[in-house]
Structure 1
Amino acid sequence: MAKKSLTFNEQMKGFPWYQLFFLSMIRIVEPMSFTSLFPYVYYMVKDFHVSPDNAQVSKYSGYLASCFALCQVLTAYNWSKVSQQYGRKPTLLLGLFGTGISLLVLGFAKYYYQTLLARGMMGLLNGNVSIIRTVIGELATERRYQGVAFSMLPLLFETGAVIGPMVGGYLVFREENNTYPPNWFPASVKRLVKIYPYSLPNIAIFAYILISILVNFLFLEETHPDYKNRKDYGLIIGDFIKKHIFSIKVKQRAWNTNYAGNHSNVDPEQDHIINETTPLVHSSTTQEISSPYHRNNMTENIDHDDIDESENTSEAESIQSLPLLTRRESVALIRTYSIVENTDITPTDTNVAFDGCAENSAIHHVLHTSVFYPISVSFIMALHTIVFNEFLPIFLAYELEKDPSDSTQLVSKFPWKISGGIGYSSEQTGTLLSTTGIFGVLVVIFIFPTIDRKYDCLTIFRTLVKIYPVLYLIIPYVVFLQKDWIPRWATVCYLYFITGSKTLCSSLTNPQITLLIHNSSPLSCRAVINGATISISSSARFVGPLIWGYLMSWTQEYEIAWLGWWSLGIISAIAWLQSYKIDPIDDEDEEEEDNENTGSMRRRTLLERSSSLRSLRNKSKVSLHGG
């Protein structure tokens, strides 16, 4: 379904570019760390000599991915709770540091169990994905920003998917593959690589993580509604650097004003706008006058009999004459004329739902409301995409099996007998994945904004998710392009078509399902639901490699490699069918926008009367102080 189209300038006016840039430095770390292993995981497992034969490499490689996902299942939800209790920024920085430590353990591993430990640490010590989703929602509070803001997630994933395989493919040097460090490498690095051939990629990414920690400590702002005005020493140093080194004008921080002492959770400018644009200003003025400090000063310096009673009467009449607003109009008024974020609203509803859970609880919403369906689809999507990402490089790395009696013929026989792979090296796999990652970046930058402006989330998702089953059906038949009479470029084109199509689908569908989950979640537990979603998706990433690791090894042993990939096609088709149970969100947004436009005249009248009331209040203050 098409929706009202906005120009790019209209859509991006006021977009929080700078904060999302700093946030992107954090988000890109996980895909870099995760995908850098793909080009060389096949050779790493072989070097550890844990697999009895090459056909079993898939199984042991699947253990590595499952170990990471299992640990993420156990901790992602808790990391979200930590961010809710202590703030987003410190939790994100702690997650970065945990990832860096796990990479060093992986790079210097000498035994298989050490790699399992490293991947487990990476899952345990980093819950940043769910927290970043919440932060994006707290930065991009307007619907026109959300599509582009949430598209940053696949954009950064694809960017990390470019850098990660490139780093892993080109910084691993194995004598068994006749690959050696360049001559210009220092002698110490050459000695290190000879002992630890998989250390350089992880050291390079660890260096980037240290830079990201420093930059975000200095410039990333807290977005948690309760802590965003808390004194941040990192921002203090960052503001000093911007002001005195780069001559950049810095904003006024809440902790630098006297106002922050009594209003630690509200930005002074936001509170000023609320008071200036709503009739609540009278109650705040009354509270100010009734405070002990002002009451004592008034008693000492003025005579209450001097107050003009007619002005007070006029003020009271003005308040009584204000029109009564419905709840929808009140929320629309605040959202239109103030910059207070929706996430600042603290719900107080504690009623028990029909399922016995509190209506504000994450369990109730995840299992028994409309958010269940997009989360379930997210689970299925995570399941088949992680299997694709993990096992396509392994499938390509399997040696091409020729007929022992005739070296010009393949062991595989079309269509049902498929065995082995095509013998791709880590460099070839890294180039393939990095190139398609670049394509994914271009898709998010140039294609996604246009599609998002013209079509709603569900239309985009349902259209593109149909492509996955087709891709999984044709993957194993790349083996039959390895015949002597077929040119090599045919294999390259075939693989780029598969990986490019998959990248196109994931780049355009992932932000849509994330946005559907975000907008289907209530404000009261949105951060916790995001954490639960990551845990649920991580459980798919645990189950997928574990099951398909056995399945891929078993199908290789019995020369029916197509079965593992076709089963993924069935799983992805279920996600497409399940998407028809998801409730659309854009129609509701447009209806609410129409209602807001219909009530605009009433709100303007309210503002005019509020302005008149403010004038009366100021005049009353002058009288109170003997002006």
Structure 2
Amino acid sequence: MSAIAQAHRERRLPKQQLAILAICRFAEPLASTSLFPYLPEMIRSFSIPESEVGKWAGLAAAMFSLCQACMGIPWGRFSDLYGRKTAILLGLTSTMFTSLLWGFSTSLPMAIVARSLAGAGNGNVGIIRTVVAEMVPFKELQPRAFSIMPLVWNVGSIFGPTIGGALANPLGVKPGEVIEDPSLFQRFPYALPNLVSACFFAIGITNGLLFLEETLETKKGKRDYGRIVGEKITALVKSHVLKVEEILHLRLSSSGREGAETEPLLKPQEDEEAAPNNEPAKSASPPPGLREIMTPQSALNLLVYFGLAMHTMAFDQLLPVYMSYPSINLGDPQDITPPSPNSSPLKFAGGFSLDHFRIGLISTCYGICGMLIQFFVFPPVARRLGVLYCLKWCACVFPLAYFAMPFTALLPTQKAQIAVGFAVMMLKCVCGIFAYPCSTILITNSASSLRVLGTLNGIATSVAAIGRAAGPALGGSVFSYGVKRGFVIAPWWAMALVAVLAAIPVFWLREGEGFGGDEGDSDDYEEEGERGTTATDGRVRGVGKSGSADASSDQSPQEHEDEANDEVGGLLTRTNTASSAGIVDAGSDSGLAPGSRRGSQSQMLSRKNSRGMRRTSIPIGMGGQPISRRYSSNLGQSLGSAGSYNER
């Protein structure tokens, strides 16, 4: 194999660890979305007037997000100090118990306290995002990697509403109904969905405890008793499988047939990027300062993320309240304002008048469509257009969906209301599926280094949680205010206004460099090959981006290492992860003369990693179509950024 071929390093997703992380994550969207179908009915069961249901439902959702905002940064710091795995498992355990507390709530204050504790006890949104970034620091693999957790959310959002709609109030207890000697589910009619959710949390906690690897560099060398037990269980299962395989092989061989090959339940880790790090743990460095964390682009991305979380969460929370609200075509309840021939055409108040079962069914269909879009539509479109360009389009479409939604209540039949309303929901669904992973990638790549990424994602979690608190609180309050005065359009148009304001800073965003190098480094390897650079002793020397053509060659190795640790973008810092260890930045420097030595020597590729040919990324759902090199080097760029997205 030539030196150039040896210089190419195969980059693969750590599929096994991402799958384990996805199992841990699955219970959270399941629990979060399961309460939406029955939330309005549960609020009514606390003897709340119909016109006030929207306000209190919004407040319950807002308290969850507000407490999550207050604890987002502490959870991020906690994960930086004690490890990502510990923080994730604690968050899952807390959410499991608070879900049970919510399901067994017998009063509105108890329910609000349960939601508050659920928000304060879980910072996994930002922590899991950090884990994915540490597992997959390579820019060309990020669309695929960062689409996995939203895909998990969409799968959970399929089963969550189904569980909530089908299992809530199984005995049909009416609000205010007095029952002598009630059974468990007559006394706690909304406990069953949360008991089911708790079972999924238990599965996720057990899976994470036994099989999830720590990605924080300073904790990788620590003894993980959970993984030790998991490895023993895996070895035990594997030994039994091998014994069964051997017996089958002997029996089938005696009859002249081939033995069946059976794979173990959990295959040994083969992904190079996810291979355990056997090096001793590095000492913890001082926490980064605010100036290092909050770059201008990071601040702008956080502002965009805040607005996105605010109006999308307001829509998701308000939608079941709106669909359960009495229809203006089905009578004239006392607290419903019917349309008047002499009044403004915008003055009307009504919903779809649906029960929790049909709301759950609609939400399930919504989730299925969302999963298909996430799987088949998002990867190729983001691959072709870039994440920044997609985010700009989504920001422009959100206000249109919010503007149109209230007019579905004016349609003459309930079937027409549901059909048109679902079409508007799908418009918002497509935008949300594109916007969140795109924004996540932009935030991640705006970080100045990997060592600040945990804290930055903690801040992003808090900022988004503030938006998710403000959105439902504002939407629910405006909904109650509007329907009392006959203007159901009020909350929807308020959301449209917020979406317009949130779209403005999107057009000042720029795509960051990422942390794992780029496809451009393949070209640089080729340039090095043309200039006579060869691999020796199984190692290849890398070139730093900031290196100049006349860099002094007599610098000490320590000076070179210090310079490498100061690099931003493609070059990893000292806190690089196992998935990125040994990767060097080889940014192009076309101004160098042939044969000249470019920049300071930064890091060395390991013998193992220098053997394989590099593989391009295939986004989820794209089969065997690889990403072109030019796309990866311009990922997310638009006409307004450095380079056109059409240049591939």
TM-score in terms of structure 1 length: 0.73
The one-letter code of the counterpart of 1:79 is W
State yes or no: 1:89 paired with 2:85.
Answer: yes
The answer for the alignment partner of 1:146 in structure 2 is 142
CA distance in 2 between partners of 1:405 and 1:128 (Å): 45
1:402–1:410 contact (8 Å) kept in structure 2 = no
Whole-Å Cα distance in 2 between the matches of residues 105 and 86 of structure 1? 28
Q: Residue 227 of structure 2: which of 223, 229, 235 is its match?
A: 235
Q: Within 5 A, what are the aligned runs for 1:158-557?
A: 158-173=154-169, 191-247=183-239, 248=264, 250=268, 263-265=279-281, 360-362=288-290, 365-366=293-294, 368-401=295-328, 411-412=338-339, 415-481=345-411, 483=412, 486=413, 488-523=414-449, 524-557=451-484
Q: Is 1:77 matched with 2:73?
A: yes
1:12–1:440 Cα change, 3 Å: farther
Partner of 2:639: none
How far has the Cα of 1:436 moved from its partner? 0.9
What is the Cα deviation at residue 84 of structure 1?
A: 0.8
Out of 6, 22, 26, the residue aligned to residue 24 of structure 1 is: 22
Alignment partner, residue 126 of structure 2: 130
Query: Which residue pairs with 2:497 in the alignment?
Result: 570
The C-alpha deviation readout for 1:460-484, integer Å capped at 9, x for no partner, is 1112222211111111111111x2x
Q: Classify 1:194/1:583 alpha carbon distance in 2 versus 1 (closer, same or farther; 3 Å).
A: same
Whole-Å Cα distance in 1 between the matches of residues 539 and 496 of structure 2? Answer: 62
Structure 1, 144-153 or 199-208: larger mean CA deviation: 144-153
Closer, same or farther in 2 for the Cα pair 1:223/1:405, shift >3 Å? closer
Unaligned runs of 5+ in 2: 1-7, 176-181, 240-263, 271-276, 542-648
Task: Give the partner amino acid of 1:170.
Answer: A
Relative to 1, partners in 2 of residues 1:81 and 1:581: Cα closer, same or farther, differing over 3 Å?
Answer: same
Residues 210 and 610 of structure 1, relative CA distance in 2, 3 Å threshold: closer
Where 1:422 maps in the other structure, the secondary structure is coil
Structure 1 residues 111-130: aligned runs within 5 Å: 111-130=107-126
| Matched-pair contact (CA < 8 Å) for 1:362–1:529 | no
CA distance in 1, matches of 2:472, 2:448: 33
SS, match of residue 608 in structure 1: coil
- With over 3 angstroms needed to count, the CA separation of the structure-2 counterparts of 1:12 and 1:489, relative to structure 1, is farther
Q: Which amino acid in the other structure matches residue 145 of structure 1?
A: L
Deviation at 1:578, TM superposition (A): 1.5
Which 5+ residue runs of structure 1 have no aligned equivalent?
A: 1-9, 180-189, 253-258, 267-343, 349-357, 614-627
Q: Which amino acid in structure 2 is aligned with residue 192 of structure 1?
A: L
Change over 3 Å in CA distance of 1:604–1:140 after alignment to 2: farther
Amino acid at match of 1:115: A
Tell me which amino acid in the other structure corresponds to 1:450.
Answer: P
Query: In the TM superposition, what is the alpha-carbon distance from 1:376 to its structure 2 partner?
Result: 0.5
User: For 1:43 and 1:195, how far apart are their aligned partners in 2?
Assistant: 15
Structure 1 Cα separation of the partners of residues 9 and 310 of structure 2: 33
Does structure 1 retain, via aligned residues, the 8 Å contact 2:46–2:108?
Answer: yes
> What is the deviation of 1:574?
2.0
1:601 to 522, 529, 532: 529
Could you tell me whether the CA contact under 8 Å between 1:82 and 1:91 is conserved in 2? yes
Q: Quote how far apart the aligned CAs of 1:563 are.
A: 1.9
Match of 2:512 among 585, 588, 600: 585
CA contact (8 A) 1:444 1:507 kept: yes
Amino acid corresponding to residue 601 of structure 1 in structure 2: G
Q: Work out whether residues 15 and 145 of structure 1, in 8 Å CA contact, stay in contact via their aligned partners in 2.
A: yes
Cα gap change, 1:11 to 1:45, in 2 (>3 Å): farther
Cα distance in structure 2, aligned partners of 1:394 and 1:611: 62
Residue aligned with 1:153, SS: helix
Question: Which SS does the other structure have where 2:297 is aligned?
Answer: coil
Per the TM alignment, residue 174 of structure 1 is displaced from its structure 2 partner at its CA by: 6.0
1:78 and 1:94 mapped to 2: Cα distance?
13
Q: Which amino acid aligns with 2:216?
A: H
Distance 2:54 2:532 in 1: 66
Matching residue's letter, 2:436 = N
Distance 1:405 1:516, change over 3 A: closer
Given residue 430 of structure 2, which amino acid in structure 1 is its aligned partner? L
Q: Residues 54 and 363 of structure 1: is their aligned pair in 2 closer, same or farther, counting only changes over 3 Å?
A: farther
Output the TM-score relative to the length of structure 2.
0.70
What is the CA-CA distance between 1:506 and the residue it aligns to? 0.9
410 and 118 in structure 1: CA distance in 2 versus 1, 3 angstrom threshold: closer
Offset of residue 363 of structure 1: 5.2
Contact 2:373-2:433 at 8 Å conserved across structures: yes
Q: Tell me if the contact between 2:446 and 2:514 (Cα under 8 Å) persists in the aligned partners.
A: no
Percent of aligned pairs with the same residue?
28
Equivalent runs, 1:53-72 vs 2, <5 Å: 53-72=49-68
- Assess, with a 3 A threshold, how the Cα gap between structure 1 residues 62 and 410 changes in structure 2: closer, same or farther: closer
| Partner AA of 2:220 in structure 1 | K
Three-state SS of the structure 2 residue aligned to 1:607 is coil
Q: 1:559 aligned to 2:489?
A: no
* 1:65 Cα deviation after fit: 0.7
Change (3 A) 1:44 1:611: closer
The 1:406/1:104 distance shift into structure 2, 3 A limit, reads closer
SS of 2:351's partner is coil
Distance 1:363 1:110, change over 3 A: farther
Do 1:72 and 1:127's aligned partners in 2 also have CA atoms closer than 8 Å? yes
CA shift, 1:31, in A, is: 1.9
Q: Distance in 2 between matches of 1:552 and 1:530?
A: 32
Quick one: structure 1 residues 373 and 41, their matched pair in 2 at CA, closer, same or farther if it must change by over 3 Å? same
The CA distance in 2 between the partners of 1:96 and 1:593, in whole Å, is 39
- Partners of 1:427 and 1:198 lie apart in 2 by 13
Once residues 158 and 235 of structure 1 are traced to their aligned partners in structure 2, the CA distance between those partners, rounded to angstroms, is 29
- How far off is 1:230 after superposition? 1.8
Q: How far apart, in 2, do the equivalents of 1:154 and 1:612 lie?
A: 37
Aligned residues: 492
SS at match of 2:372: helix
Higher helix share: 1
Letter in 2 for 1:418: F
C-alpha separation between the residues in 2 aligned to 1:512 and 1:120?
29
Structure 1 residue 553, shift from structure 2 partner: 0.4
CA contact (8 A) 1:239 1:250 kept: no
CA deviations on 1:46-94 (whole Å, 9 max, x unpaired) are 1111x3x211111111110111011101111111111111111111111
Alpha carbons 2:139, 2:518 under 8 Å: kept? no
Judge conservation of contact 1:12–1:145 (CA < 8 Å) in 2. no
Counterpart residue identity of residue 15, structure 2: W
Who wins on radius of gyration, i.e. which is larger? 1
Assess, with a 3 A threshold, how the Cα gap between structure 1 residues 471 and 264 changes in structure 2: closer, same or farther.
same
* Amino acid in structure 2 at the alignment position of 1:153: M
Give the RMSD, CA atoms, in angstroms.
Answer: 3.3
- The SS at the match of 2:501 is helix
Q: State the match for 1:45 in structure 2.
A: 43
1 CA distance for matches of 2:384 and 2:397? 21
